[in-house]
Amino acid sequence: MVGKRRVIVTGAFLVSFAVLMAATSRTLYQVIGWRFAQGLVTPGVFAVAVAYLHDRWDGARAATTAAAYVTGTVVGGFVGRLVAGQAAAHWGWRASFVAVGAMSLACALILVLTLPEEGLRAEGKGRSDARKGRWSHLMTRALLGTYAAGFCVLFAQVAMFTYVTFHLAAPPFVLSTAALGWLFAVYLAGAVITPISGRWINTHGYRATLGIAMALGVAGSLLTLGHLLLEVIAGLALVSSGVFVAQAAINGYIGVAARADRGLAVGMYATCYYIGGSVGGALPALFWSTGGWRASVALVIAVQIATALFGWTFWRPARALA
């Protein structure tokens, strides 16, 4: 067994390498190729990192740590977009890859210097039992609900932030491309509220926290139907905050629900999560073409409600899984 720490560190270096190599591209196909390579290694880092933190911490500490981890992804996503955009504006598109690649490389070096080895706490009933019933471990009711919730969470986020740009580029808003790029600043609201979600999980449980997250999302989706730009921005901030709180709840719960083969369970969740994002980028086009923004928002709200229902129906209280 290679070990989770080594996989995370290696994956981080591979991500930075793929990004930096994209800056050397001479054709669009080369850019796509290096971006594809980046996409191949990034989910592995994500999946193993979630399993890693559950190996080191348990109970309330794991919930708080999962929330902190999601907060880091929120801040990193925003900073990456901001730095890439500014670098491209001043020095061209290659500079954006160099800047992001350099930041990724710096993060990989920090991991080498500071990331401790994973804990020795055993997973569930032991490795031999896990091998005997691997698929049964990965297909429990609780985990199936987690995979479905992950699919829905990224679906809603991608659908909302993809199609709202078409909505805001049209009358009465008519925002420029540069102004639309700043919409991702609403992610910072998630950076503020997501750390609090760890306390919500410890106080109210994973299911209730997921429900709170989706309630925020539904309220935000309804606000985006307003005719004032401030209403739409506030709605997007609530939607993104709901997504990030939901991610904290799901990442925390999967470590509780997966008593064995935790890395594989997180990997399956990551697969469903990214498939949801892909579908969320394509399916709303049918609603947009027939009913415009209102129809797209109705679809997003339906998915947000489904997310909460998956958690409430399939998840069991953490103490029942112990």
Model pLDDT for residues 190-236, shown as the tens digit of each residue? 888 888 888 888 888 999 999 999 999 999 999 999 999 999 999 99
pLDDT digits (tens, 9 = 90+) for 86-110: 888 789 889 999 999 999 999 999 9
Helices (H), the chain: 4-22, 28-56, 59-91, 93-114, 127-132, 134-138, 141-169, 177-181, 187-204, 206-223, 229-257, 262-282, 284-314, 318-321
d(CA 18, CA 34): 6
Summarize pLDDT for 121-158 with one digit per residue, the tens: 544 444 445 455 556 668 899 999 999 999 999 999 99
Average confidence (pLDDT) over 27-32: 93
* Neighbouring C-beta atoms of residue 165, cutoff 10 Å: 14
In whole angstroms, what is the distance from residue 1 CA to residue 128 CA? 14
Peptide bond into 195 cis (omega under 30): no
> What domain count does the chain have?
1
Using alpha carbons only, what angle is made at residue 292 by residues 290 and 295, rounded to the nearest 5 degrees? 80
The region, left, alpha or beta by phi > 0 then psi within -120 to 50, assigned to residue 57 is beta
* CATH code of residue 19: 1.20.1250.20
Query: Are 138 and 265 spatial neighbours (Cβ–Cβ below 8 Å)?
Result: yes
In whole angstroms, what is the distance from residue 121 CA to residue 41 CA? 26
Structural domain including 84 reads 4-116+125-321
Chain position carrying tokens 């410890």? 202
pTM for this prediction = 0.82
Model pLDDT for residues 66-87, shown as the tens digit of each residue: 788 888 887 887 888 788 878 8
Pairwise CA distance, residues 39 & 275, whole Å: 13
Which of 238-242, 250-254, 287-291 has the least mean pLDDT?
250-254
Closest CA to 262 of 54, 92, 8: 54
SS3 150: helix
Q: Which residues of 201-213 are buried (b: 16+ CB within 10 A; e: fewer)?
A: bbeebbbbbbbbb
Output the pLDDT for position 168.
96
- Answer yes or no: are the C-beta atoms of 67 and 197 closer than 8 Å: yes
Give which of 142, 123, 284 is closest to 210, Cα–Cα.
142
* pLDDT tier for residue 161 given thresholds of 50, 70 and 90: very high
pLDDT at residue number 286:
97
Distances (CA, A) of 35 to 220, 273, 276, 314: 32, 19, 19, 35
Q: Of 155, 149, 145, nearest to 299 (Cα)? A: 155
